[in-house]
Chains A and B, each alone.
Chain A
Amino acid sequence: MVGAALVLLLILSALLAPVLAPHDPADQFRDGLTPDGQPIPSTLLEGSLRFPLGTDANGRDLLSRILYGARVSLVVGVLANALAVALGTLIGSIAGYFGGLLESVLMRFTDVMMAFPTLLLAMTLVAILKPSMWIIIVVIGAVYWTWIARVVYGQVVALRDRDFVIASRALGAGRVYSLVHHILPQLVPTIIIWGTLGIATNVMLEASLSYLGIGVQPPTPSWGGMIQQAQSYYRAAPWLVIFPGVAIMLTVFAFNLLGDGLRDALDPMQVGKL
């Protein structure tokens, strides 16, 4: 419940960023820097709402940038995961259901992709394709599907010889028909759980790529990129690292919490265990 509320809050603040943000995230304010050109900390302590979380090295309002950054994180996290779930379900269920050569080829390919160090694979792909938000979504989807394929594969293998599937085949259902109508519906809880937990992982991956400087490119504000830019003066202006990091952590936390809650709701055997 807390997870659902947090996720809702995040989505709302991303959608309403133009209303909620006190400033334009790209505006560089003259009074956003000290006379010698340093970023200023939160103005709340001085009783002013001008820059509630302080400003960055360009005199831009940090709160506004974090609110707009939520859009990048959520869009990338959700869409990349939708792609990963679609690919993983397709490959895992085909390999699990049809077996034989198709199974060997698809699952060995999954093994190879899983042995790749995730972040290095994503970095190489981004370097080839040039970073942009859509490319990041495709790349994250392309490195994350293996996990879902493994899980789906395991479940389909366990289901394919069950009586209700054999009965439907005996009644004359085609192989594809019985896969789509009798096996896939059984996978819905798994897909919902992974569809949520995966968003958490992918938000983290996006932040990591942006932190390494190969994610969504400036001037679009992204949380990972904000931390990368602030890294060299984290001692003088720690708020520039602290707040974007808290935003990432809250988002990942919210989707993890929601995913855990969904698992408890959809899979009664697991209640209270994780």
Chain B
Amino acid sequence: MWTYLARRIIQTIPVLFGISIITFVLIYYLPADPARMYAGPSATVATVARIRHELGLDQPLWVQYIDYMGRVLHGDLGFSYRKQVDVTTLILGRIPYTFALICGGVFIELAIGLPVGIISAVARGRLADRLGMILALLGVSAPPFWLGLMLLYWFGYLIPIFPLGGTGTPLHLVLPALTAGLGGAAWYARMMRSSALDILSTDYVRTARAKGLSQFLVLMRHMLPNALNPIITMAGMDIPWFIGGVVLVEQVFDWPGLGRLAVEAIETVDVPLILGTVIVTALAVVVSGILIDVVQTIVDPRIRHGQ
């Protein structure tokens, strides 16, 4: 297991470098002059040139990249041109909010998605199944930013249970977490149903039934541990999309997380901040991919024993 994990971590290093290179090249072609942004609109041409030299922006692209990565490896993500603050400080300040939102969203996904999927599988073809699956398909199809505004309108404004935005109390997290999680919940419900149906038609489930186990025990002991595996794999593939959804949710609720910071950075062409946010989110994607692999080895002994 540990060698597997080590191999997995080493494999992600080229991916991270690839992402940093692509982002760096992309940003190099942004139609804005970072030195001018840093100097401000009233600076003279000479000042801009001096700043360009000081920031190393007059160097060739690959020299700039190596300089930048050297600093990144020492934990220094640079200095935001617009906000005049350390990018590392800015990002660290936003991470707790995004982390809370992701945890809430994933909780909603699983707490709603898995039971609905199991119920649909057990009630295959009956009304509960049909209804569950139509709702799930609608849930997959609803744009998260719209869902967020609808939840705000109904449960923040018409029936004022939850605050209309901002942060502070656990109540503030409820609507954003629901928005981030409902689409995924619908998706997991579909996956869970499909996976459960596969398992429920196997011989060992029939044997378990034949020896007189109750429906509940069959589901909990025999179906669930086996059905979870493909779902965990899918969860790994879902992460980049989930994080994209979080960006939208943060926008709707004015949630001060990493996604809003990234959107602001792109809007204001704040180069170091764009690089920093993209690299940190990519790192988050890669790390959660590894975490999911770890969960999978725990759930499925076959992987642990290298089969």
Contact = CB atoms under 8 A, between A and B. Distances in A.
B248 interface: yes
Interface in A71-122: 108-109, 111-121
Nearest to B125: A272
**Interface size range on A against B:** 35 or more
A249 B149 contact: no
A212 interface: yes
Contact of B150 (A112, A224, A242): A242
Interface in B1-50: 14-16, 18-19, 22-23, 26-27, 29-31
B153 interface: yes
Contacts of B140: 252, 256
Residue of B18, B124, B144, B286 ringed by the most chain A CB atoms within 10 A: B18
Interface in B269-287: 269, 274, 277-278, 281-282, 285-286
Interface in B239-256: 240-241, 243-245, 247-248, 251-252
Interface in B138-189: 138, 140-146, 149-150, 152-153, 157
Interface string A223-243: 010010001001100100110
Contacts of B227: none
Contact of B194 (A117, A118, A274): A274
Given A245-B143, A256-B140, A256-B141, 7 more contacts: A116-B240, A118-B240, A120-B266, A127-B30, A212-B251, A213-B267, A234-B153
Contacts of A227: 143, 145-146, 149
B65 to A, nearest CB: 15
B162 to A, nearest CB: 14
Contacts of A120: 244, 247, 262, 266, 277-278, 281
A138 B5 CA distance: 37
A169 to B, nearest CB: 32
A211 interface: yes
Contacts of A231: 149, 252
A250 B146 CA distance: 13
Nearest to A251: B141
Contacts of A234: 149, 152-153
B197 interface: yes
Contacts of B26: 124-125, 128
A154 B240 CA distance: 20
Nearest to B156: A235
Nearest to B14: A108
Contacts of B241: 118
Contacts of A245: 142-143, 146, 149-150
B90 to A, nearest CB: 16
A115 B285 contact: yes
A248 interface: yes
B263 interface: yes
9 contacts: A108-B18, A115-B19, A116-B282, A117-B243, A118-B240, A120-B266, A124-B278, A128-B29, A204-B141
A41 to B, nearest CB: 14
Contacts of B125: 272
B137 A257 contact: yes
A181 interface: no
Nearest to B11: A111
Contacts of A119: 243-245, 247-248
B18 A117 contact: no
A183 interface: no
A273 interface: yes
B251 A235 contact: no
Interface in A245-274: 245, 248-250, 252-253, 256-257, 260, 272-274
